[in-house]
Each structure stands twice: as structure tokens, then as C-alpha cells.
Amino acid sequence: MSQKILTLAGIIITASILPVTSAQAAGECATGKTLEEGVLTIATGNPAYFPWVIDNEPAGGKGFEAAVAYAVAAQMGFEAEKVEWTSSSFDQAIQPGQKNFDFNLQQFSITEDREKIVDFSIPYYTSALAVIVRQPTIDAGVQPTLESLKSLTWGADANTTATPVIQELIAPESDPLLYDDTINVIEAMNANQIDATLLDLPVALYQAGAVMNDGVVLGQFAADESTSPDHFGLLMEEGNPIKACVDAALTALIDSGELAQIEAQWLQQATDVPMIR
Amino acid sequence: MSRNTTDKTGIVAAQAALPAKISRTAYNAQKKRRSLMIASASTLTVVALIYVLVPLAPGWERVKNSFFNWEVLVRTFPKLLDAFLIDVMIFAWCAPAIAIWGLVIALCRDARSPALFPLRVFATVYNDVFRGVPVILVIYLIGFGIPGLGLSRTWSNPYIWGSLALILSYSAYVAEVYRAGIESIHESQRSAAKSLGLSHWHTMRHVILPQAIRRVVPANMNNFISLQKDVALVSFIGPVELLRQAGVEKSLLANFTPYVGAAIIFLSVTIPATRFADHLIARQNRERG
């Protein structure tokens, strides 16, 4: 009996000590490497969009990227109240000089060229790219095949890696039109100026389902099949020593399956979107 | 004796006058050389200071890497030049349309017959609205709004509506410049034309406009130089012209050098155009004495 109690007590003690020690160890990793001691400053876009951040309030922890940010912070040993949010545009994220964040997440695709200017963590998400069109285009007989996609007029967000993918993978007959953001791309589609665009699958599902009147996700390029898979990474200042801690935290989240859980919770799983051949 | 002295001094003065004139030319030339030397020296000093001091800034290597990256410039410049052709094209068809439509608006504003009062109201409201609304808003409203009404693909082309938006906006500015030109022609010329039996239209056509338009050419040059840059705004509704192409490269390479490349291309056109406008103004000033 007494031994049982002892064992039980031992389990409780180890159970309560373990997370504390691992968190402390991780917390130590970031010591002296954050902008403000003891606080982790994270940046995202303003506005930040569904399903990455819900209601443009990253501090609410709702939405895929907000949840990932808090999970990484916790893994690094920062409690939720020690996380500060700030906003940054893409351009602010890549400008030379002092950054106002420890890391920045807003669906930054990791590319070799960008790596020369900033640092990226290991990927926290790999997105399939999806083709979105309007019902009239479907009625006109477009198919989810590369051949069929070539004859469409394409549009894309100029600030994303969708542009080279359209040009290299689909190689449409006419040059794509480019816009400042996804909202403008959708607007151009509504104005019948473009037929199709390429979006990250979760965004495509949201746009077609909740924003457009007659939007349809025509098909997807599998994340691993695509010639340029869209790996999202946390962006950090070039040479920021915190990268090692962030990578370690992400690795732990991937190994424990927590990252997959967050993904399942916030990103709609598309089972019925056909693959484009 | 005293008279003799005076004569002597008179001769001395006269003798001195000739070399004095020569030495004044020499003096002026010397002065000019001197100021040229000072100007060169001070310019060189400033350039040298910038050249020496800026790289001493702790962040210079990063700034250089992000903004003045030779490798990136070489890689992106051909694509930027290609995209610039789109700007040139849009400019080429917008500029004449603006010159004509602006003149029409200016003539509407100058309509003097009571029956044409609605035209004056139209032109006034037109100028107020299009000069008061940022060009980019007009481009968005027309570029997305009109095709959104359900036009066919051919007619919903962003080039058409983006150009129309530029034409409408810029015509308002150009019309005001024309109006200033028309009003600068003295009222007595209209009276003179009237006394010769010329109608209002003939007076305009043969007396007022030839002088007015010539008079405002330099001012309008400025409008067209600024149009040459604002053509880039059409990229907001889709066309991939210079500024957009630079933005794409910037985004893909996470490097601002393509923007510097775009600036170089724009400058290579606007600077000669500006100098030409200066030259026109100088010539006009000389002609007016």
C-alpha cells in the first residue's frame, strides 16, 4: 500500500516535473535570443485571413497559424501570456535591418532565393495547390486536366509563388493577369476578366464555399506531386540564433503528432477534390 | 602747366581703357573658371562623402544586398524591360486620347452661350470629380465595376477599362491646363475677331486655340510625364507591366533590387522628357522676351 502510494507519488512527481523541465530547457534555448527577454514576439499579416487566423485576432489562438504559433511558443517554454503579437506585411518581413518580430508566419513559402535574404524554419505545413473557377466555366466544359487548363485565362496574387507555378506547370496560352491580393483576384473572376486562379487548397475551399457565389474548386495538384511544393515556413531575420530553438520546437510538435492534430482541427480536409492530371 | 597735366592724365586714362577692357573679359573668364572649379569640387566632395560614409553604416551590407544586388538586377532586368513595353503601349494610346478629350472638356467649360449652360455644368462637375478622386480609385471602380456588369470576355479586358480610367482622370487635369491657356489670351482678341465677323467657333479655332495650346505645351508636358509613371497603376487590375513585374520578382526573390531596376527604367524616360519640357519653357520665355 505504502509502496503503491510512493509509486503513485513518484509518477505524479515525474509527470509534473517532466514537462516543466523540458519547457525550461527549451525556454533556456531562447534565452537572450528574443527581442524582449522572456517574451516571444510573433508577427502575422494584418488583416490575417481565415482559415489561418480567425477574425483577424491571432491572440485568440484560433485558426491554423495562430494555433501553430501558440504550440511552437509553448514548446519553446513561453506561456500564452508571454506571447506578443505584432503585424507585418510581406515587404516588412523581407526588408533589411532590425525586425520587429522573433518569427513571422503568414503562409510564407520556403524558396531557395528567399533563403538568401531571410531564414526559414523547417516547414510547418505543406499545401496542395488548388484550381478555382466559376460555375459558367464548368458549364463551358472545362476538365481537371492540364490540357484543359491551358486554354483558360489565368489570374493570381502577384505576391505568391502561384505565379511561377502557373507559368511553369500549366503554361497557359495567354499570360496570367496579376493582382495585389486574393480578394482582387476573386473580384477579377467575378468581373469575368479571368477564368481561373491557383490558391492554397484550404484558401480555395474557403473562397469557393463561403465567399464566391458560384465558385468551384476544380481540382488540385497534390502537395508532393507539384514541381514546386508549397512548404510554409516560419520566417526569421537572416542569421537569427533563435532558428535552432524554433526548429527544435517544430520537430517536437511533428514527432508528437500535435502539429497534425492542429492541422486536422483548423484546415478543412478535402476528400472530394479531384487530382489534376 | 596745369592744363598740360590734365591732358596727360586724359591720355593716360584713354591708354588704360583698352587693356582694361581686355582684362575685364579675362577677369570674367577667370571668374567663370573659378566658380566652375568650386562647383566641381563641392559636387565631388559631396559624392565622395556619400560614397565613403554610407558604406560605413552598420547596415550597409544588408541594404546593399537587398536593394543594390547586382546579381538580382542582371537576372531580372530583361524581364523588367519586357514588361515596360506594356507601359509604353498603354501610354501610347492614352496620351492622344487625353489630349483630345481634355480639350473637349476645356471647350465645354468655356461655352458662353446661355443655351450651352448644361455643358458648362457638366465640364465643371467632371473636373471636380475626376481631379478630386485618386486615380487608383477610378481605376478600381471602372476596371472591376463596369466589367462586373456582365460584359463578354473581349469587352471586360482590363486594358480597355484601365486605360479609360486613366483617360478620364488625366483629361480633367489637362482640361484645366487648357482652360488656363484659353483664359490667358486677352479678351480684346475675341472682340477683334468678333468685329471681323468671326463666329464664336471660328474665333476659337483660328484665333484663341492656336495661341492657347502653344502657350500651355510645357505645362501639359508635366502632365504627360506624370502620366508616364501613373500608367503603372493599371497593374492593380491585372496587366503585368513594369511595376507589377518588379513586384513579382521582389516577392519571389525576397529582394527589393527589381524595384530599383524599375526606377532606373522609369527615370531613363522621364529625365529626358523633363529636360525637354525645360527646354520648351526656356524657348518660350526667350520668345516672349
Grid coordinates given for B106: 476645356
Res B45 pLDDT > 80? yes
Tell me if chain B has a CB within 8 Å of the CB of A212: no
Q: Which of B60, B70, B140, B252 to mutate to test the interface with A (most CBs of A within 10 A)?
A: B252
Residue B59 is predicted with a pLDDT of 83
B8 and B79 together in one domain: no
Amino acid at A166: I
* Residue of B202 and B285 predicted with greater confidence: B202
The shortest CB-CB distance from A192 to any of B147, B239, B250 is to B147
Helix pair B257-288, B60-67: axis angle to 10 deg:
80
In a domain, B64, yes or no: no
Distance from CA of A204 to the nearest CA of B (A): 20
Cβ pairs A/B, distance under 8 A: 96
In a domain, B63, yes or no: no
B46 and B147 together in one domain: no
CA-based nearest residue in chain A for residue B248 = A158
The shortest CB-CB distance from B63 to any of A96, A114, A163 is to A96
User: What are the extents of the domains in chain A?
Assistant: 2-30+37-122+239-266, 127-221
pLDDT band at residue B258 using 50, 70 and 90 as cut-offs: very high
B18 and B73 together in one domain: no
In a domain, B77, yes or no: yes
In a domain, B61, yes or no: no
Cα(A247)–Cα(A250) distance, integer angstroms:
5
A109: β partners: A232
Grid coordinates given for A75: 514548446
In a domain, B18, yes or no: yes
Grid coordinates given for A19: 514537462
pTM of the full structure: 0.76
The DSSP code for B241 is -
Cα(A147)–Cα(A277) distance, integer angstroms:
9
Residue B91 is predicted with a pLDDT of 95
Residue B113 is predicted with a pLDDT of 86
Rounded average pLDDT over B40-48:
93
Rounded average pLDDT over B254-274:
92
Rounded average pLDDT over B260-269:
94
B102 and B39 together in one domain: no
Cβ-based neighbours of A245, under 8 Å, separated by 6 or more: A26, A29, A30, A33, A76
Looking at the domain covering A2-30+37-122+239-266, what would its CATH class be? alpha beta
B60: β partners: none
B227 and B150 together in one domain: yes
Q: Which domain holds residue B35?
A: 2-56
**What is the per-residue burial (b if ≥16 Cβ within 10 Å, else e) of B79-91?**
bbeebbebbeebb
% chain B with pLDDT above 90? 65
Tell me if chain B has a CB within 8 Å of the CB of A151: no
Residue A30 is predicted with a pLDDT of 82
B95 and B148 together in one domain: yes
% chain B with pLDDT above 70? 92
Q: B251 and A97: CB-CB below 8 Å?
A: no
B147 and B204 together in one domain: yes
Rounded average pLDDT over B151-177:
93
Residues in chain B closer than 8 A to A111 (CB atoms): 252
Q: Is it true that domain A127-221 has CATH number 3.40.50.620?
A: no
On whether the CB atoms of residues A101 and A42 are closer than 8 A, the answer is yes
Tell me if chain B has a CB within 8 Å of the CB of A112: no
Cα(B238)–Cα(A158) distance, integer angstroms:
9
Residue A197 is predicted with a pLDDT of 95
Residue B188 is predicted with a pLDDT of 93
B139 and B208 together in one domain: yes
In a domain, B62, yes or no: no
How high is the mean pLDDT of chain A? 85
Distance from CA of B240 to the nearest CA of A (A): 6
Residue A22 is predicted with a pLDDT of 46
ipTM for the complex shown: 0.74
Rounded average pLDDT over B39-44:
93
In a domain, B134, yes or no: yes
How many structural domains does chain B have? Answer: 2
Residue A210 is predicted with a pLDDT of 85
CATH code for position B88: 1.10.3720.10
Residues in chain A closer than 8 A to B255 (CB atoms): 94, 113, 116-117
Query: Which three-class secondary structure state does DSSP give residue A174?
Result: coil
Residue A25 is predicted with a pLDDT of 47
10-residue averages of pLDDT along chain A (277 residues):
47 45 57 88 90 91 94 92 91 85 92 89 91 92 90 91 87 92 91 92 88 90 67 91 93 94 85 81
B75 and B52 together in one domain: no
Distance from CA of B89 to the nearest CA of A (A): 16
Q: B151 and A192: CB-CB below 8 Å?
A: yes
Cα(B2)–Cα(A231) distance, integer angstroms:
108
pLDDT band at residue B14 using 50, 70 and 90 as cut-offs: low
Identify the weakest region by mean pLDDT among A15-24, B42-51, B220-229.
Answer: A15-24
R_g of chain B computed on alpha carbons: 29
Residue A13 is predicted with a pLDDT of 45
How high is the mean pLDDT of chain B? 89
Q: B254 and A95: CB-CB below 8 Å?
A: no
pLDDT band at residue B99 using 50, 70 and 90 as cut-offs: very high
Residue B41 is predicted with a pLDDT of 94
Residue A226 is predicted with a pLDDT of 55
Place of cell 449652360: B117
B50 and B75 together in one domain: no
Residues in chain B closer than 8 A to A97 (CB atoms): 59, 62-63
B79 and B197 together in one domain: yes
B52 and B73 together in one domain: no
A195: β partners: none
Rounded average pLDDT over B81-94:
95
Residues in chain B closer than 8 A to A213 (CB atoms): none
Distance from CA of A35 to the nearest CA of B (A): 18
Identify the weakest region by mean pLDDT among A71-85, B48-62, B134-148, B163-177.
Answer: B48-62
Query: Which three-class secondary structure state does DSSP give residue A192?
Result: coil
